[in-house]
Amino acid sequence: MKQYTTLFIDLDNTLYDFSGNSREAYRVVYELLGYERWFDSFEHYFAIYEEYNLQLWALYAEGKISKEKLNSERYAHPLRVVGVPDADAIGARFWDEAMLRLPLGNRLMPHAREVLGYLRPKYRMYILSNGFTELQSRKMQSAGIADYFDGIILSEDVGFNKPHPAIFEYALQIAGVTVAESLMIGDNIEVDIMGAQRVGLDQVFYNVDQLSLDDERLLSISPTYTIASLLELKSLL
């Protein structure tokens, strides 16, 4: 194995359980705003939200929509689907309430703290995320992992989203390291892994969604390393 000195690590759903934490926050807001008037259940609402949210994040990563468009559309869309009047205004209220609660979640992905404790003495580590500036640092503080990292590099601050090569090049410049001594770790095959490949950066694909080894995306992108659990980083690194 190559001798790496620096790790760039995605935050959401790689270390921080954003899916679990956000679901809990959204359930609270759903009840607070009385969404049961329009939806059969929270699960009904969340299924509509989640499908469209994933599509919007893919567009955001490609630079095809703005942060403002992402946030307005993802919260208004479920309301539009069930025919709620004033969907835009009500969705904006949902986002305002969610913003108060999203940074408070403290659930991590399995074994994240143990693995960070193992890696910290051996490597310099940076968060490299497409998440929003006003949320990421607070989420890390809530989860108690901020002190493991030498810095936080966010797409909003750079002006480019992963998988654009510019954000990876900027990260290397900030860390003062070369491609050869650096490694990207993330859960998104297109955003984290393909993006890192574009600048020649080795990658660890954390296969959270349990893609089959013969999945077309895995075969076409072919990560440097693939893991099913963060614990595997302890033997890999």
Arithmetic mean of pLDDT, 65-83 = 95
For residue 219, name the pLDDT band (cuts at 50, 70, 90).
confident
> Minimal CA–CA distance to 94: which of 107, 112, 76?
76
Greatest pairwise CA separation for the chain in angstroms = 58
* pTM, two decimal places: 0.93
The pLDDT > 90 percentage for the chain reads 89
Instruction: Supply the pLDDT for residue 172.
Output: 98
Q: Over 80: is that where the pLDDT of 81 sits? A: yes
Distances in whole angstroms, Cα of residue 46 to Cα of each of 24, 31, 107, 135, 172 = 11, 12, 19, 21, 37
Note the pLDDT tens digit of each residue in 1-54. 789 999 999 999 999 999 999 999 999 999 999 999 999 999 999 999 999 999
Q: Which amino acid is at 181?
A: E
Q: Over 90: is that where the pLDDT of 202 sits? A: yes
- Written as one string, the DSSP assignment of 71-116 is HHHHHHHHHHHTT-TTHHHHHHHHHHHHHHHGGG---B-TTHHHHH
Q: Over 90: is that where the pLDDT of 76 sits? A: yes
Q: Which amino acid is at 23?
A: R
Q: Over 80: is that where the pLDDT of 217 sits? A: no
Instruction: Supply the pLDDT for residue 215.
Output: 78
Note the pLDDT tens digit of each residue in 148-176. 999 999 999 899 999 999 999 999 999 99
Mean pLDDT over each residue of the chain, to the nearest integer: 95
Instruction: Supply the pLDDT for residue 131.
Output: 87
Instruction: Supply the pLDDT for residue 214.
Output: 75
